[in-house]
Amino acid sequence: MSGHRFYNPNLASGKLSPEESHHATDVLRLRSGDSAAVFDGKGNEARVRITNACADEVSYQALSTNRTPPPSYRI
């Protein structure tokens, strides 16, 4: 399992932002076929496979999704 995680507020879009795409391809050197995780900051996370990797756009296909419930608060 890869430890690479990327933020995308719209998981269903299937594309990372230009900034996240740059980080994935130029910094981490991920390529088509690599796997990673994409999360939306609302408790949803998808395991994805990268289908297209360019410096300004990374496309992905969701393999599975998980929802993390919010923590319970106790006072």
The mean predicted confidence, pLDDT, of the chain is: 92
pLDDT tens-digit profile of 9-39? Answer: 999 899 999 999 999 999 999 999 999 999 9
The confidence band for 6, taking pLDDT boundaries of 50, 70 and 90, is very high
The confidence band for 72, taking pLDDT boundaries of 50, 70 and 90, is confident
* Residue ranges of domains in the chain: 5-65
Q: In what order do the strands lie in the sheet with 5-7?
A: 5-7, 35-39, 44-53, 58-67
Report the CATH number of the 5-65 domain: 2.40.240.20
- Long-range residue pairs from 6-9, CB within 8 A, at least 24 positions apart, any chain: 6/36, 6/37, 6/38, 6/39, 7/38, 7/39, 7/40, 7/41, 8/38, 8/39, 8/40, 9/40, 9/41
Q: What is the pLDDT of residue 2?
A: 52
Which residues are 61's β-sheet partners? 49
